[in-house]
Structure 1
């Protein structure tokens, strides 16, 4: 029997994740069966169960993809000197998340925000998913703290406010924007950028 390459295995795993995410975004976790996922990805049960034992593993893998996208973006930002200002940085990261770059085919029609909110809701009843999300959030939070510390080191942000507190607030802004998208419909990420710029301008001196 010919050996299957790792590239092929990774592509097949991503194909399953993409299809499951589309199903979950359309119908929700509980209204989606594994049969729905099989039909979406056009694979046999054996092919899918080779990678995922069931819906909970699929949900956890999708949640990890989202968190890894955010963490990687902010770790990259922390390595810049200085990092891009919050209005630019948060908008760029949210643009990447909402575009669905981590789940192909789920980036249109507001599906990504609905998918993210469903993951949040599922953590309230699923302890294993809650543990996974808390761990992922910890990594994301650490990446955001590094960005804030870089702002403070460059003299761009007050140093007498704990970086951890600022990071939590920045995360809250991003989460709130996702929730608004899921509940009230899509708006361009430029709305978020402009809102942040307005808030950031409060300490500026008026031009004479």
Structure 2
């Protein structure tokens, strides 16, 4: 059997991960079997297992893909922004474009697995640290305008922590409260952050 090119292999892994995410959102990590993912993907057992040795490996790849793509999109967004962004505006940019109810359910499951999976914990920590640095970068112009002094890095750092906590709360609320309107919730949190 001919080997797949690197681009084709990456595309196939992403196809499998997308099928896995749909299953994880529908059934949860624990209740999703490899058979469910195989059926959802429409691929053969061999096609799946040639890319992922087991469900744990697939979960880590899916988590990495989800977290890194969200962080990358936010990095692109803040790089493109030419204006000083308030904490509320920074929060709104992250959650409005990057987190929907399905992704929230998957993120909650990823966070639940972190204490039991050292590799997944490393992925989560790396992405959390990267997002924190991006938040600080996005907030520094606002902090400079507010303080005009030596504490601007400290206030940007603390505000980034507050935004991260607000994002995590938003994700939890979206995943457990089917009645909450995501837009209204995001707007309320953004208003509170200022």
In the TM superposition, 1:40-189 aligns within 5 A as: 40-79=40-79, 80-99=81-100, 110-153=101-144, 155-156=145-146, 160=151, 162=154, 163-185=156-178, 186-189=180-183
Distance 1:53 1:78, change over 3 A: same
TM-score by length of 2: 0.84
CA distance in 2, matches of 1:47, 1:16: 9
Aligned with 1:123: secondary structure?
Answer: helix
- Partners of 1:93 and 1:114 lie apart in 2 by 16
Q: 1:57 to 1:157 in 2, by over 3 A?
A: farther
1:74 and 1:43, CA in 2 relative to 1: closer, same or farther beyond 3 A? closer
Which runs of no fewer than 5 residues in structure 2 stay unpaired?
none
Distance 1:13 1:148 in 2: 35
Alpha-carbon deviation of 1:134?
Answer: 1.1
Kept in 1, the 8 Å contact 2:104–2:175? The answer is yes
Query: 3-state DSSP class of the match of 2:30?
Result: coil
Provide closer, same or farther for how the CA distance between residues 33 and 23 of structure 1 changes in structure 2, counting only shifts above 3 A. Answer: same
Residues 1:193 and 2:193 are matched in the alignment: no
Normalised TM-score (structure 1): 0.79
Distance of 1:157 and 1:177 partners within structure 2: 28
Supply the distance in 2 between the matched residues of 1:158 and 1:66 (Cα, whole angstroms): 37
2:8 matched to 1:14? no
Between Structure 1 and Structure 2, which shows a larger proportion of helix residues?
2
Gaps of at least 5 residues in structure 1 are: 100-109, 201-208
